[in-house]
Amino acid sequence: MTPPTVTAPRTYLRIGAAVYPVYGDPLRGWSLRAEDFGGLLAAPPYAYESIDELFFAIVNLWAQATGAGRRAGAELAQ
């Protein structure tokens, strides 16, 4: 048995050198996970309301992971 086909529209966000596929639309929201749009839910549980909100969430995660924006010689909070 093959898994159901996901019909969520896909677009791409470029953050730094990375390109992320994102799924959704302005009505249902935006997510990094295509499977969030496989059911009949009006608002998937892991979707952001706007593509801008998703973009800034990814940027924040990317900045934390790379240490971008940290002052030289600054100690990380423990």
* One pLDDT digit (tens) per residue for the chain, 78 residues: 555 455 567 789 998 888 989 988 888 888 888 887 776 656 667 789 899 999 999 888 888 877 766 666 556 555
Structure tokens at 57: 């969430």
Instruction: Give the total number of structural domains in the chain.
Output: 1
| In-domain check, residue 3 | no
Is residue 45 situated within a structural domain? yes
pLDDT (0 to 100) of residue 16: 80
Residue 41 resides in a domain: yes
d(CA 38, CA 34): 7
Q: Which domain holds residue 37?
A: 13-66
**Residue 74 counted as domain residue:** no
46's CB contacts (< 8 A; 6+ apart) are 31, 33, 36
Alpha-carbon span 45 to 27, nearest angstrom? 14
- Is the pTM for the entire model greater than 0.75? no
Say if 75 falls within a structural domain: no
How far is Cα 69 from Cα 65, in angstroms, rounded to an integer? 11
